[in-house]
Structures are given as structure tokens and as C-alpha cells.
Amino acid sequence: MRSWSIHVGRLFGVEVRLHLTFLILPLFVFWTEYNVHPANGPRDLALVGIILACVAAHEIGHMLIARRAGLIPKAVILLPLSGVTVFDESRAEKPECAAAVWKREVQIAIAGPLVNLVFALVAAGVILLAGAGAHLREWPFLQSNNLPRSLVWANLYIAGLNLLPAYPLDGGRILRAFFARSIDPAAATRRAVSISHALAMVLMVAGLFSNTWLTMVGIIIFSAAQLEERAVIFQSVLDNVRLEEVMLTDFATLSPADTLEDALDKAVHSLQDDFPVVRGSDMVGVISRQRILEALRMEGNGYVQAVMNKLFEVSARQESLASAFRKLTSHNLSIIPVVEDQRLVGIVTLQNLMHSMALLAESRKLRRDEQGS
């Protein structure tokens, strides 16, 4: 997600990123406009601006409804005629019953196109009242020669486009929510993504023989589906992988009676950044290499007992990565001891989770590609 988009700012506390395909838009507008009338840079740029504003308004619509439903938007990626809102899954609450999820998904999906429809109606109303002779129903609807008319139609196009049943466009999301009522969410997403890829192909080819905008729409749908699929693979790794599959079982521990100098000596010989502190077979605390160093620097040599963190959370080996991830991020921890019958059997650290999730996502994708071919 990050590699194909650039940070442009924040809106309502949510990071706004511009997908690189957005750069196609100005080039595309200049090119199509150049075919109909002599180049007019400022007006063409204004048309690009209008389209960007309509997409942003659309995404704000989704974001506000999502936030009301208790989801936390993390970033919005703006694509030329649509957008993708990335939610902070690690902080989301446990999913409720399927019917509630389905209803919420549909409400969030509808909100975007609805904003554009309202904007189009208001803009058309204002234009008609002003009697500016905007010729609202004259072809071509989107043209830099007539910016007020373009404002109305850009909103209508964006609403209409996003209602196509092409995941992750809003119409496709409604379709996925519908599939997810009978099959599991990851499979529902895959089914929606395949329909989306097929539709994108049809549009790209059809555009070559008719309107080039269609080709552009096809390209956008294709890249958006790709983005979303990656997020879903990641999420399914989070949900389906148990801690016992990724926890570190070969790790160093410290004793509360160790001196900080001894602890540092052990830390030097280990790749770990965080250490469980055990007395006999009891977990009594956790401490990081950083904390050991700080304590040594500030207070001189002392005992691990005095500086270790006694507040920590433990997990069971059957817990999912998603649950461990939530514990780590919500309490700002860097290590979770994995226990069985109150015995320490492994540790999970943020560093090791990030590493193994990337590996697992990659291996699943490879496996799926093999199955597909």
C-alpha cells in the first residue's frame, strides 16, 4: 500500500495519501482536452482539481459513517476516480454478528456515492438558479471549457462509477458483504476480486474501441482491487495464524536477581530486544535491552528486579496473531510471553511479529498463485 502512494497531508486526523495512478489523471485530461481545443493549462488543471475534490468528498462520506460505526480510519488513498480507506484493524473491536457487519458495510459503502449525488444536485440547483447558461445536458459532460457543468457531472460519474459491482468500489463492497453472509470473509473477498478483475478487463478493452475514459476506469479498478487483495491476505494471516506457529521458542530469559551488568552481558549475546524475567518457572516481569542500558546509564548497576516492567500481558499459544497484535499495540508493549499451564513456552515480540507476518503473507500468496496456475 505504502509503496504506490505518497503522503499529502491529514484530514480529520486521518492520513491522506495520493496513489501514483493519480498522476495519470492530469496527463489524461491534458491529452483528451488537447484533442478538442487548444491547450488551456489553468482550466485543465482546474478540472483535475474538481475531480480530486469530488473524490475527496466521497471518501470523507465513507470515513464519517465508518467512524460513527466505531471503525478507526487510518489512511485514505485517493485514486483518480475513487479512493480506498484503510482501517486500523489492530484497534477494531471484536466483530459482532454477521447481520450487523453486513448492515454496517452497506451503510459505509452507500455513504460515498450519496455525498456525490447530493453535491451534484446542489451544484445543478445553484447553476440553474444562477441562470448562467451552463447547458448542463450538453455533451461532453466533462470539459475544461465548462467547469460548472463538469462539477455536476464529475460528481455523477464518480457516484455511478463507484456503484459498479467491482470490488473494492462501493458496489463491489456491497456485493462482497452479500457473499460474506454465506461464505467466510476471505473467500467472499476473493470472489468479489475475481468479478472485479473480469469487469476491469472488459472495461479496458471496451475503452480501446470507444471512450478512452473506460480504459482508464478499468486500470483504476484493477489497481484498487490489487491494493485491497493485499490488505485482505494480510488480515487473513492475522486471523488464521496461531501464536504457536510464529512464537520464538529459543530465547533468553533473565532472573530478577541478575544484576544489570549481567543482563547487559546476556543481551549482547542475543538477538532479542526484549527479555522475559522469570523466577523459577514463574513469569514475573519483562525488560528491554533499551531499559537495561538506560538504567545502567542513569542509576549505575542495580538489579533487574528494580527496573523490570511488572505490568505485562500474557497470551495462550492458541491465540491468533490479530489478538496478540491488539495487545501489543493497545498497551504499547513490545513483548508478549506465551504461557501454557502458567509455564513460559515462548515469546512474541513486535519485531518478530512484523517479520513473520510479512513472510507468511508472501508464502500464502505463493501457495495461492501455485494453486491458481
Query: Interface with Zn ion by CB under 5 A: which residues?
Result: 112, 162, 170
The residue among 58 and 327 lying less far from Zn ion, judged by its C-beta, is 58
- Cβ of residue 294: shortest distance to Zn ion, in angstroms? 47
The residue among 222 and 251 lying less far from Zn ion, judged by its C-beta, is 222
203, 190 Cβ separation under 8 angstroms? no
The residue among 58 and 326 lying less far from Zn ion, judged by its C-beta, is 58
C-alpha cell at position 234: 494480510
C-alpha 159/C-alpha 169 separation (Å) is 10
C-alpha 280/C-alpha 297 separation (Å) is 29
- Cβ of residue 22: shortest distance to Zn ion, in angstroms? 15
- Cβ of residue 162: shortest distance to Zn ion, in angstroms? 4
The residue among 170 and 319 lying less far from Zn ion, judged by its C-beta, is 170
β strands within the chain, DSSP E: 5-11, 14-19, 73-79, 82-87, 274-279, 282-288, 315-316, 335-340, 343-349
C-alpha cell at position 62: 465513507
Nearest residue to Zn ion by CB is: 112
The residue among 50 and 304 lying less far from Zn ion, judged by its C-beta, is 50
C-alpha 268/C-alpha 263 separation (Å) is 9
User: Cβ contacts of residue 21 below 8 Å, gap of 6+?
Assistant: 4, 79, 80, 219, 220, 223
- Cβ of residue 13: shortest distance to Zn ion, in angstroms? 20
- Cβ of residue 60: shortest distance to Zn ion, in angstroms? 10
- Cβ of residue 216: shortest distance to Zn ion, in angstroms? 17
C-alpha 326/C-alpha 348 separation (Å) is 13
The residue among 59 and 258 lying less far from Zn ion, judged by its C-beta, is 59
